[in-house]
Amino acid sequence: MAKAKQAQTPSTDANAHMTTAEATVAALITHGVDTIYALPGVHNDFFFDALFKAADHMRVVHTRHEQGAAYLAHGAALATGKPQVYSVVPGPGLLNSAAALLTAYGMNAPVLALVGQIPQSAIGRGLGHLHEIRDQAGIIARLVDFSARICAPTEAAELVARAMQAMRTARPGPAVLECAIDVWGRSALVPVAAPVLPVPREAIDKDAIRDAAKRLAAAKRPLIVAGGGAQDAAAEVTQLSQLLQAPVLAYRRGRGVLDSRDPLSVTLPLGRELWGEADVVLGVGTRLFYGYTQWGIDPDLAVIRIDADADEPERFAPPAAALIGDAKPILRHLIDALATEHRRPSRRAEMEERQAKMRQRLEKLAPQLAFLEAIRAELPEDGIFVDEVTQLGFAARLLLPVYKPRTFLSPGYQDNLGWGYATALGAQHARRDVPVLSIAGDGGFLFTSNEIATAVHHRIPLSIVVFNDGAFGNVRRTQEEQFGNRVIASDLTNPDFVRYARSFGAEAERARSPQELRAALKRAFKRRDGPTLIEVPVPQMPSPWEFIHMPRVRG
C-alpha cells in the first residue's frame, strides 16, 4: 500500500483545508479529467458531495448498473486515448464492474476506478459491514497493475498522480484507488496544487533500431502486424508500409491503423497467407497471438517486436529483435534509418488481385456483408463502430472497411459478450462530435440494454443496431453443426426491442433488409439529442469461423 508524505506546511495561500474527497476531485481536475462515470452509495457520499461542489469543472454521468459505469469509462478511454474515471461502492459495486475492469486490462485502456471501502479500522476484521468483501485490496491487486488505498486527505493528490502515471507507463492499463467511508469526509490542510508526475519514457536503443532497419531493408517478403499499441502511430505505420511495400495485418485492435482502402491493408485470412510467405514480420503493439498460436513459426521467419511492455516480446518465443517503448517514436527512427536508400517496386497490382480473390471466398458471408455495406455507406469516415460478440461483429472484424485509428472498437482477447452497448455509450459521450454505432446480437444487447435509460437521461445520441435471431446464435450453430443438433440453453425469448427502447424514451424502428437498415441509419445519425435503436430480424447466419481459426501455414 503506497503512503504519501504527510503535509507539514503551515497554512498559507498555497495550502487549504480540504476533505479527502475534495482533494481527490481537485487532483483529477488537475489531470484533465472532466467526467466521472458513476453509481453512488453511502460509502461514497462525501465524494459525490465534492463532485457537486466541483460541478463547474466536472460532470457526473450516473448509470443504472456498475458494469455500465465501468464500460462507459472504458469506451470513453478507447475513443479518446485519454484516462477516464469511474466510481462505485465496494463489494458488489466493485464486482459488478469487474468484467469491464478485466476488459480494460486486456485492452490496455487507461481506466481509473475509485472504489469505496468499509470503515478504515474495520477493514480485514470480517465484522459484516455493509458491502464488506474479504480482502478487497487483494482482489483488486489481481485485476490491475496499480492499486492503493487513500488513507488521509494528505495522500489523495499524490495517489491520484501515481495512478495516472502508472496507467500511462510502459503497457498502459487500468488502476484502482480505494477509500474508506470514514476517510472521504476527513479534512486536513493540504497543498492546493496537485502534483502531476511525468510518464517515464524508454530511451530509444539506436543500435537496435539500426539492426532492425537492416533486417527490414533486406527482407524480401516483409509483413507488418498492427495491434492496439499501434493506434497512435497510424502515420508512421502507413509510411513504413509504403517504404517497404509491406502489407499491414490488423484484426480486432489494430483496425484503422492502415486505411482499409490501401490494398496493403489486410485482415486475418489474407494476413495468414502473407504470414506463411514472410521472411520478416514486424509486430507493432500486438501479441501476435494468431501467428504464434495458430499459423506457426520456423527459423526462416525473423520476428521483430515493437512493444511498450518489456516483458511482452519474449512471451511466446524470443524474437529476432525487440524494440521497447512507444511505437510512434520507434517507428519514426526506423523510417529515418530506412528512408534514404530505400525504394521498392509497388505491390499494388499483386495485392489488389489477392484482395479480390480473398473477397470472393468471403462472399460465403454474403448476408453479413450486405448489412456491413449498408453500415459503411452511412457511417462517416470518422464515425466510430463498436463491435460485439455476434455474427455481424465477427464479420466486421474481417470485412468492414475502417479508415481511421480509434474508429473500430473491438473487445480484444476477452471477447466478452455484452460489453458493446455501454462501451459505445461511453465512446459517444466522450466523442459527441462524431456518430458512434453500436451493434449487438439479441443475446449480447440485453447485458447492458438497461443503459438506454442512461442514454436518454444524459441525452447521449448513440445508435444501436440489434441483430435479432432469437438465439445465442453462435452457440446454437455450433450445437447444430458439431453436436448432432442437440440444442441446449441457446434459444432466447426476447422483448419487442422497438417497444422496449421506446418505453425508455428512445427513438426506435425495425429494419427488415440492408436497404431499410441504411435508411434507418441515415435518420439515426441525424439525431443528436438522444439515442436510437434499430432492430433487424435475421435468420441464422453462415459461420465465419473458417476465416478466423485457420490451419497452420508454417513450422
Which class for 497: exposed (0-12), middle (13-18), buried (19 or more C-beta within 10 A)?
buried
Pick from 183, 379, 417, 508: which binds ligand TPP (CB under 6 A)?
417
146 vs 497, beta carbon nearer Mg ion: 497
87 vs 391, beta carbon nearer ligand TPP: 391
Q: Does 473 bind Mg ion (CB under 5 A)?
A: yes
Tell me which stretch binds ligand TPP (CB under 6 A): 197-205, 208-216, 358-366, 468-476.
Answer: 468-476
Q: Does 191 bind Mg ion (CB under 5 A)?
A: no
Q: Buried (b) or exposed (e) across 532-544, using 16+ Cβ within 10 A? A: bbbbbebeebebb
Minimum distance from residue 466 beta carbon to ligand TPP (Å): 9
DSSP annotation of 489 reads S
Alpha carbon separation from 336 to 203, 258, 303, 333, 339 (Å, rounded): 17, 19, 20, 5, 5
**Closest-CB residue for ligand TPP?**
441
Minimum distance from residue 465 beta carbon to ligand TPP (Å): 12
| Residue 433 φ/ψ, nearest 5 degrees | -75, -15
Can you read off the three cell numbers belonging to residue 297?
Answer: 513459426
Contact partner, 416, from ligand TPP, Mg ion, none, Cβ < 5-8 Å per class:
ligand TPP
35 contacts 58 by C-beta, under 8 angstroms: yes
- Tell me the CB-side half-sphere exposure of residue 301, using CA atoms within 13 A: 23
Alpha carbon separation from 309 to 91, 170, 246, 485 (Å, rounded): 31, 5, 24, 45
Tell me which stretch binds ligand TPP (CB under 6 A): 19-27, 177-185, 414-422, 524-532.
Answer: 414-422
d(CA 331, CA 308): 12
Pick from 66, 155, 378, 469: which binds ligand TPP (CB under 6 A)?
469
d(CA 286, CA 256): 14
234 vs 439, beta carbon nearer Mg ion: 439
389 vs 452, beta carbon nearer ligand TPP: 389
Can you read off the three cell numbers belonging to residue 402?
Answer: 475502417
d(CA 482, CA 374): 32
Pick from 285, 441, 530, 531: which binds ligand TPP (CB under 6 A)?
441
d(CA 293, CA 553): 11
Contact partner, 106, from ligand TPP, Mg ion, none, Cβ < 5-8 Å per class:
none
Site for ligand TPP in 374-403 (CB under 6 A): 389-391
Q: Does 475 bind ligand TPP (CB under 6 A)?
A: yes
Q: Residues 430-469 vs Mg ion: string with x where CB under 5 A?
A: -----------xxx-------------------------x
By CB under 6 A, name the binding residues for ligand TPP.
389-391, 415-418, 441-444, 467, 469, 471-475
By CB under 5 A, name the binding residues for Mg ion.
441-443, 469, 471, 473
